[in-house]
Structure 1
């Protein structure tokens, strides 16, 4: 509402405050419903219509946002209907809601039909079409979909620039509930409860916290539940409550290394990181990673001291050859197959160094994990040797 006011439009949305301003979820819902009634009776400014809101994802994240959106007057439409609606419709007394799933976001590179199972198992065979089939017809995008680096992005800053240059500036706002940095949507900075928005100017690629600036509004607060602390706590408590009898029966081990996780319910068992004074088996790789990096830090410090000595007494021509590095990406069932452990063992045995750049652990057994690492060795020749060794164990 404040953004629309800055653009010169007074709308009923202006009367909806931030979630933390309300004493309860019910009060917040009531405010949204009142704004919805005002839209139904008085309408929105014609220049903002048709107001099209596109939601991505069908999981808990999107369902929560949809639950609030449905308090407004809306008509449900398919993503494929958006171009026609934007070219013909000017109904200002309702919003248009569209839920985009994978079949609306991508197409097969070989021109074949979309297959959901194929897409999730071999995403490299698909390319994004969302930026041309959905984005140009969206007033607002609410992003709640699961995404990792194996999958195509919905759109990029370059896509926004291209559309604005071509005169299509319908998109006014992006709410990235997922808060994946530079993920499925180009969110490159997170916002806060105190400053929940920033404006991205697609022409200049500059960002601003002023709602008066031209561009697309981005909302990316990564701790939204804390705006409604009572409801968030109650929800978590209700989810935990069924496990309490089992948790009280599974006493913490008194002897180091003698865990008792088998007595825990499977969802809780899978969340156990440490037991009996040490890391749980599925998280042993953390100790290996710590060991590798600690040793590498010690070697780097020793090398730095030797380099300082060489420069001081023997001149720069005696400084050892600088280290070489390469970024490696891995995807698959990295943890349940212990591939991560084998990779770290190999790096440690080769007396190289690895820095974890990013890890995305699959949310279920059906989802693969991804990992990006920086592999560092003392020379380019040695680096190539270690890369080949890592490839062998990873395959």
Structure 2
């Protein structure tokens, strides 16, 4: 790895601009680059002449010259050289080595960088480079560019425009980071213009002449105002056309996806055209409407994404488990309210980015089906992919197009456009917008101590955007050292000759430490980091999209580092995996298969705490062929439960006995003293998983009978008393499908077992009350028709819908209705709980605002309420409980024997019991893999002695002990 740069060093880089020798100048120089001449359409500039003049006037007032601006001569730039010369800039054929800050839009030609940074020439010049470098995701094609800024080059700092972010408060009141300088709006605006122009041509190919045919393309308008005027004129012509001017094809209908800056820009241009906006449910009815209107529709994910189980779109579930969703963009789902979208559109403008873990909006098969069902005369004639995701959300977009060749012809004669430099068609306007945003940061980079603007925020913004500082990778981008060194092993960026540095040699120089990559930095990460950090022969990299959270686990540990990583970025994940020896994933389970594929490709082992899914199991053969172990189920449940069972079963097998019954219980609960609340339960994480699990189907064997419990009956058919610990009043719920554990644990045939059961523990009263909440509609996953304005109106809306109540419920109706539905005793208890939760009028109403969700889903709103109302208070502890009960038979002695295994673990002030039992178990198992103590390969759980024996022993050393009793 390359040397790590700390925060103080970043700040120092911003505060000083000076040479490493005695060479000093009082004059600071800004160099404004011309863009790569091979990009013939790239006419943008990072600073307009007006912005340059503002800088010069600020710094050179009072007869004192502090700033010089060099502008590389460029005849293609949207502002001519003369404009810059007029305001005092120096026009140069190439930037001089005096440049302290080199500013451009996109990455420069490599030879231009080498000319200014070549080491060994005695220059020793500190210099900042600001650009969209396209390196921070590990883009392989720009590795030579990144390497040019790194040691042995001296004093170079690379600041990436894409990483310039500042705090922003979202609609939900949460602070996020928002891009400071970007071209997304202009990409959308120009993309809409290209889509409209292409639609006119596509319709002409169908034998239809429309006013769009004469709409000038954005670049030929010259300015945004002129282009808007062209759109308005075109719209007037459309509206004055005969109502049936386009024959039987119906009106032009444009579908726009996305709600970010790209889509906002496109929407603004469609408004200039004068489109009539409709909802997705109105699309089918437009077929016979007049054609002297152009219709447009903002297409939301709710209208075409559905769960694979037929459930409606849920935003939180979609982003956490995108693999469980599919697109119905070209057809209609039969069981829920999704609509046909694509068959009713003339044109699609796509403003939604895509990564491989998400379902595609339209696949190649979808398009073929659309064309086939219409006999080759489908309404869809044009697709403009503003995001330029090749074979992405729209799979048939399989090539990039250019401004001079803006479209290609796809299946069914559909015209397809995917231009990656759309904003440059309105270069002057786009540059003016960008220049206004970047100017304060350029000023701060040139003069770190200048008093204008927000000093702290601008400095912080520049620090976060640094990929390289003083010739070294910054902490957030340290992982890029691996790809750079691998590239250097083939070619030197400065000499073009073979370089002796290799990845293996770099590893040896770091002391030969075992490299563990920890994906995720959530609540169980802390205990896991403690385990890894205790090993002097392990170097841990915590990779997370929440860098501040990841850094909180580093503390003062020299063997632990944190990096920023978007798991949706396949290139970045691949590089991070390649630089590790063992990968440990705390990501949501649906993300594991994609990570596992990278592990297989690079020959790295993977350890997780999640159940082995069918998707993971399908990778078994590939993992074995590449000598890779994909080890799952190394947490608490699953994890410690299986390990404890396997330890007992190992002895059972050695003693020649047989299992005739297996019953297992596990649960995470508040300590009994903290359970005096509704549900007798508290949440340290999102409650939605608990609410969802309480509605899963269950399948098990009990008293020699196979039992199946539908999810809607699970709470009602709970086990009211589970006596395991004398002082704990427990009840239980069946936990999904217990039947596969006969083969997983080697228990024998299901027919030979009296009981085969796995259950979840709760305190008594949980199931009955939660079932009452379910019967009031609070656990439903479909969307309410209206957004409730209070928690009380939320309950009235869910209850009224669930009970099919005619009219509008009032608070006074609820007690009587609940007595009819629940019975008097349960109704009274439920009302008390609802009052405590502020869902019905109480003496102290809730001050928690109800989230303003576009799609109000009851289970999401209820989970949000519970996460606040039933959160742990300071000083309260949680507890994890595990209890196995085996009945054994001895064929020789013809006797039976009872064996139990129990765990009762409490949290403390430092960590919760759940985070310890999951995080440390995962870490101990991963270290056994890293140490080469697990020889098994392929996809498996902790069922092998090489895993469970050592992991349980390590847990016992820290006080997490599973106690066995053999009668």
TM-score (norm 2): 0.31
Shift in CA distance, 266/41, structure 1 to aligned 2, threshold 3 Å:
farther
Pairwise CA distance, 1:273: 1.2
Counterparts in 2 of 1:115-154, with a 5 A limit?
115-132=314-331, 133-154=340-361
Larger displacement relative to structure 2 (38-47 or 338-347)? 338-347
Q: What are the Cα deviations for residues 298-324 of structure 1, in whole angstroms up to 9, with x where unaligned?
A: 9xx9xxxxxxxxxxxxxxxxxxxxxxx
Q: What are the Cα deviations for residues 94-128 of structure 1, in whole angstroms up to 9, with x where unaligned?
A: 11111012211301223334322222222222221
Aligned residue number for residue 206 of structure 1:
none
Shift in CA distance, 382/183, structure 1 to aligned 2, threshold 3 Å:
closer
Measure the CA separation in 2 of the matches of 1:345 and 1:3. 48
Measure the CA separation in 1 of the matches of 2:623 and 2:210. 61
Give the match's secondary structure for 2:420. Answer: coil
Asked if residue 193 in structure 1 is aligned to residue 428 in structure 2, the reply is no
Contact 2:251/2:292 (8 A) holds in 1? no
Measure the CA separation in 2 of the matches of 1:189 and 1:113. 33
Aligned residue pairs: how many? 320
Measure the CA separation in 2 of the matches of 1:23 and 1:81. 36
Asked if residue 375 in structure 1 is aligned to residue 582 in structure 2, the reply is no
Give the match's secondary structure for 2:235. Answer: helix
Pairwise CA distance, 1:384: 1.6
Counterparts in 2 of 1:281-300, with a 5 A limit?
281-292=475-486, 294-295=488-489
Aligned residue number for residue 265 of structure 2:
64
Match of 2:365 among 139, 158, 168: 158
Contact 2:623/2:630 (8 A) holds in 1? no
Measure the CA separation in 2 of the matches of 1:334 and 1:181. 26
Contact 1:11/1:45 (8 A) holds in 2? yes
Shift in CA distance, 276/297, structure 1 to aligned 2, threshold 3 Å:
closer
Pairwise CA distance, 1:157: 1.8
Contact 2:250/2:286 (8 A) holds in 1? no
Asked if residue 235 in structure 1 is aligned to residue 436 in structure 2, the reply is no
Shift in CA distance, 388/60, structure 1 to aligned 2, threshold 3 Å:
same
Shift in CA distance, 269/146, structure 1 to aligned 2, threshold 3 Å:
farther
Asked if residue 247 in structure 1 is aligned to residue 441 in structure 2, the reply is no
Match of 1:96 among 295, 300, 309: 295
Shift in CA distance, 392/142, structure 1 to aligned 2, threshold 3 Å:
farther
Measure the CA separation in 2 of the matches of 1:268 and 1:81. 47
Contact 1:250/1:263 (8 A) holds in 2? no
Q: What are the Cα deviations for residues 215-246 of structure 1, in whole angstroms up to 9, with x where unaligned?
A: 11101101001111101110111121343554
Match of 1:170 among 379, 392, 397: 379
Measure the CA separation in 2 of the matches of 1:334 and 1:382. 30
Aligned residue number for residue 304 of structure 1:
none
Give the match's secondary structure for 2:415. Answer: strand
Q: What are the Cα deviations for residues 270-301 of structure 1, in whole angstroms up to 9, with x where unaligned?
A: 32111112222111111122224555899xx9
Pairwise CA distance, 1:386: 7.2
Contact 1:39/1:73 (8 A) holds in 2? no
Measure the CA separation in 2 of the matches of 1:221 and 1:72. 22
Pairwise CA distance, 1:265: 4.2
Aligned residue number for residue 277 of structure 2:
76
Contact 1:12/1:38 (8 A) holds in 2? yes
Shift in CA distance, 171/190, structure 1 to aligned 2, threshold 3 Å:
same
Instruction: Give the helix-richer structure, 1 or 2.
Output: 1
Pairwise CA distance, 1:262: 7.9
Contact 2:257/2:351 (8 A) holds in 1? yes
Give the match's secondary structure for 1:182. Answer: coil
Q: What are the Cα deviations for residues 358-392 of structure 1, in whole angstroms up to 9, with x where unaligned?
A: xxxxxxxxxxxx88747356x99783247779x95
Aligned residue number for residue 217 of structure 1:
415
Contact 1:137/1:170 (8 A) holds in 2? yes
- Listed as ranges, the gaps of 5+ residues in structure 1 are 203-214, 252-260, 302-329, 350-369
Pairwise CA distance, 1:247: 3.4
Measure the CA separation in 2 of the matches of 1:169 and 1:178. 24
Measure the CA separation in 1 of the matches of 2:348 and 2:283. 13
Measure the CA separation in 2 of the matches of 1:388 and 1:290. 30
Match of 2:580 among 331, 346, 349: 346
Aligned residue number for residue 208 of structure 1:
none
Give the match's secondary structure for 1:81. Answer: helix
TM-score (norm 1): 0.71
Shift in CA distance, 392/64, structure 1 to aligned 2, threshold 3 Å:
farther
Counterparts in 2 of 1:295-310, with a 5 A limit?
295=489
Measure the CA separation in 1 of the matches of 2:628 and 2:285. 57
Shift in CA distance, 266/77, structure 1 to aligned 2, threshold 3 Å:
farther
Measure the CA separation in 2 of the matches of 1:331 and 1:181. 28
Measure the CA separation in 2 of the matches of 1:286 and 1:161. 41
Give the match's secondary structure for 2:273. Answer: coil
Contact 1:25/1:231 (8 A) holds in 2? yes
Asked if residue 32 in structure 1 is aligned to residue 231 in structure 2, the reply is yes
Shift in CA distance, 35/381, structure 1 to aligned 2, threshold 3 Å:
closer
Give the match's secondary structure for 1:110. Answer: coil
Contact 1:247/1:264 (8 A) holds in 2? no
Contact 1:12/1:35 (8 A) holds in 2? yes
Pairwise CA distance, 1:180: 0.7
Pairwise CA distance, 1:248: 4.0
Contact 2:342/2:380 (8 A) holds in 1? yes
